[in-house]
Structure 1
Amino acid sequence: MRYLATGALFLSTLFLGCSGSVDSRTRLSIFAASSLTDSFQALAAEFEAQNPAIAVELAFAGSQVLRLQIEQGASVDLFASANQKHLQELIDEGYMGSPRVFASTDLVMIVPLANPAEIETFRDLTKASRIVFGNEFSPIGLYTLEVLERATADLGSSFGSVVSERIASLENNVRMVRAKVELGEADAALVYRPDAITSSGVLTFPIPDAWNVLADFPVAVSTEAPRGGAAAQFLEFLSSPVAQELLAQHGFVSAS
């Protein structure tokens, strides 16, 4: 398994050329939402163990960023999004095949370990001086907006107004949102449950069911997938009991 960052593909190619050793495995390129970082690294390791002839290459970013890269010609075999919207737009444009929801999760509120705003419940969000959310283009931002609209409908317009006034920044993806809280640069934020579970630097508080949302995570194979066979294998693997158990360990629930 490889996790590709900027320039990594060039460097890996250079080193392979110098070493004289060629990896003959099929390379499966997967774009995945940043919220899937930990779970997909575990899934890729298990998939490679079951399929030693396939090497998984993972690239993580906000779903909207990955969608743009695909639209601009990035070569990818499979795309896992944090919401239906960005994947559906790629399907409508002819870039991706039929989608399949492989996991779901809800949102939680996180605060720094020191909890300077002394937040104890979701209603205490108005105590925060600095709140960080995802921006309007990111799935986490869209889900957050839905939660706030539901809460404001019950708690009154003053709740929504105070929260809006306390927003310190709007980030491109959920990992950037979480990082602000971990670093103490925000008093509170909303993230997916898996992002809270995999962090040792935050305290987690539930969002009441009446205001929470269920975020579906869909996946699809590219219509131009260079390695369509391997992509189809991974797609089926995501529905397997072992894959669903790994997802559950990271805070997701079965799509079924």
Structure 2
Amino acid sequence: MRKYSIFIVILILLAGGCSQGGGSETELTISAAASMTASLTELTEMFEEEYPDIHISYNYGGSGSLRKQIEQGAPVDIFLSASSVDYEKLADQDSVDNGKAILTNQLVLIKPKEGDIASLNDFMAGNQVMAIGTPDAVPAGSYAEEALQELDVWEQLEEQSRLIYTKDVTQVLTLVKEGAADVGIVYASDVNDEKDVTVVQTFDSSLHSPIEYYIAALQSEEKEEGVEQAKDAFCQFISSEAANEVFENNGFQPVE
């Protein structure tokens, strides 16, 4: 009888220990434009402090490449796109549960801190090279192509093989910082805290399509209640005043 009583006590203690651990953790997988890395790193810490049972894993890259991964079946819960085109392509395929535009940005020409180029015209007069995102896969590269075409210099740069194409804006920054490219075109937010590059000029927004960032909660075949609630929580958080303040500090502007 004594052994039986001890056994019951052990079971009660074990049950109590399990209940103290709280609910199981929910995993959110988010594919996000590389230009959002710094902001999302800061925001994730804030979000997970508010929602300790939700853990976020990010996949960063060019929005076009990320969209193609989703189309091919990559298990993604939320898509943060730097391009309305990539967002709309998924929406047209009924892959988006809900979504909206949340941020805007500007396009800038940058050079290494010690670089000599004073303007785009100055660059065009020489034989240096420019790094941009691959237009078909990187929205910043697509916007750059539009702006350079409007300025009537795109064909000249292509004919003279003066363009270096990259997988995302982060690689553009790296090439410029390391001196492997004399100039590059990125978003204003990308150089917000960069000390090794200098903005040469900001492109007029009339030269390219509107730069808008979208958030999309994606459809899933099996809707798990915990995941759906986590998606809703993150989508609400990303549009909060606290999140907008972080984005603005990093060079973005919230959509009105």
TM-score of the two chains, using structure 1 as the length reference: 0.82
Whether the 8 Å CA contact 1:79–1:219 is kept in 2: the answer is yes
Task: Give the match for residue 215 of structure 2.
Answer: 219
- 2:11 aligns with none
Unaligned runs of at least 5 residues, structure 2: 1-20
Identical counterparts, % of pairs = 28
Distance 1:254 1:22 in 2: 36
Residue type of the alignment partner of 1:124: D
Flag structure 1 segments of 5+ consecutive residues without an equivalent. Answer: 1-20, 153-158
Q: Is the 8 A contact 2:107 2:203 kept in 1?
A: no
Partner of 1:57: 57
Q: Could you state the TM-score of these two structures normalised by the residue count of structure 2?
A: 0.82
Corresponding residue of 1:99: 99
* Residue number in structure 1 paired with 2:235: 235
Amino acid at match of 1:151: L
Q: Does residue 205 of the first structure (1) align with residue 200 of the second (2)? A: yes
- Rate the CA distance shift 1:190–1:128 in 2: closer, same or farther, 3 A: farther
Aligned to 1:123: 121
Amino acid at match of 2:212: D
Q: CA deviation at 1:161?
A: 4.2
Contact 1:108 1:196 in 2 (8 A): no
2:165 equivalent in structure 1: 170
Question: Residue in 1 aligned with 2:179?
Answer: 184
- The alpha carbon displacement at 1:150 in A equals 2.4
Distance 2:210 2:192 in 1: 17
> In the superposition, relative to structure 1, how do residues 88 and 214 fare at CA in structure 2: closer, same or farther (>3 Å)?
closer
Q: Distance in 1 between matches of 2:129 and 2:199?
A: 17
- 1:79: Cα distance to partner? 0.4
Q: Tell me which residue corresponds to 2:66.
A: 66
Indicate the structure (1 or 2) with the bigger Cα radius of gyration.
2
CA RMSD of aligned residues (A): 2.1
